[in-house]
Amino acid sequence: MRISTSQMNNIMLTSMQSSTTGVNKTFIQLNSGERMLKPSDDPLGAVQLMMLDREQADISQFKKNISNLKTQLGQTESHLDASNTAVLRAQELVTGILNASNSTMEGREAIATELDGILGQLTDIANSKNPNGDYIFAGTKTDTQPIVKDPATGKYVYQGNSDQREVQVAESMSIPANQTADVMFSNGSDNIFNTLDSVINDLRNPAVDGSNLTSSVTQAQADIKSTLSSINGALTDVGGQQNSLTMISGSHDDNKLINDKLIGDVKDLDYSQAILELNTQMAALQATQMTYSKVQNLSLFKLM
């Protein structure tokens, strides 16, 4: 089979073009530090990278959710601590009502005044807002003030709901972002606000004395004890949620490191191998160029 000069030229030019393309590609790889310049270089690797990038994006979002949730839970914990301290003081005051030194109206008024301040403090806590202006303890009714005093009945009522706002912190795990005032300040069928309001009114009413005052104090003590149990239960929940977030965040960090390594294995260039390949490609290109030059100089006239 004879090969014409034109065919020979085409073969040699194609070979040089292929070698030049390989050299250029390797130079680009060396400059970028990446082995895979386009998906077609490694289709399976490209799919793996896409999946790993998606997982890394999910991890970043989960980490952001965890960070925001930690801030919210920290704020909730602070309010619960303050509530616990206030209710403990109310417990001390109510327990001291029946002491002989507090039997006078002046002594009762002093206790009533301090309990009134505690009632206001607890109401303020229950109606706390976050920086966005949402009520923290109103469940999912974040635009509704949770604790109000009904002018018709004179009773403190809860206007929120008992729903908790769930925040996704992992692929198949969500953690509540809030506690609700109806749970935090409950004492069975009523709440601490009405309990304190009732004992304050009894202290300021001279007609309530003797066994009636004792009955009022006994009921208040039971309600306060129940409220403390509710607050401590909420504190336990928040503490457990914070511990869970710490562990989940650590797991995300570990997974991110593993994914970073897998991405590097697929994407990053092996410099020593690339330099070896470049040298091989350069040698092949130079050999092709020399061969082509010699073929170009071949002529029947030069042989005569």
- The three-state secondary structure class of 34 is strand
Tell me what pLDDT residue 24 has. 58
- Among 92-101, 113-122, 210-219, name the one with the lowest average pLDDT: 92-101
What is 71-250's CATH topology?
Answer: f41 fragment of flagellin, N-terminal domain (1.20.1330)
Residue 271 pLDDT greater than 60, yes or no: no
pLDDT tens by residue, 147-190: 999 999 999 999 999 999 999 999 999 999 999 999 999 998 89
Per-residue pLDDT band for 300 (boundaries 50, 70, 90) equals very low
Tell me what pLDDT residue 120 has. 98
Provide the residue ranges of all domains of the chain, joining segments of one domain with +. Answer: 71-250
Q: What is the mean pLDDT of the chain?
A: 85
Which residues neighbour 179 within 8 Å (Cβ) at sequence distance 6 or greater?
76, 80, 137, 164, 234, 237, 238
- pTM for this model (two decimals): 0.76
Residue-level length of the chain: 304
Q: Which two tokens stand for residue 214?
A: 């004792």
**C-alpha to C-alpha distance for 56 and 62, rounded to whole angstroms:** 10
Per-residue pLDDT band for 303 (boundaries 50, 70, 90) equals very low
Of residues 285 and 243, the one with the higher pLDDT is 243
Mean pLDDT value across residues 209-227: 95
Tell me what pLDDT residue 99 has. 85
Mean pLDDT value across residues 227-238: 97
Element spanning 275, H or E:
helix 271-297
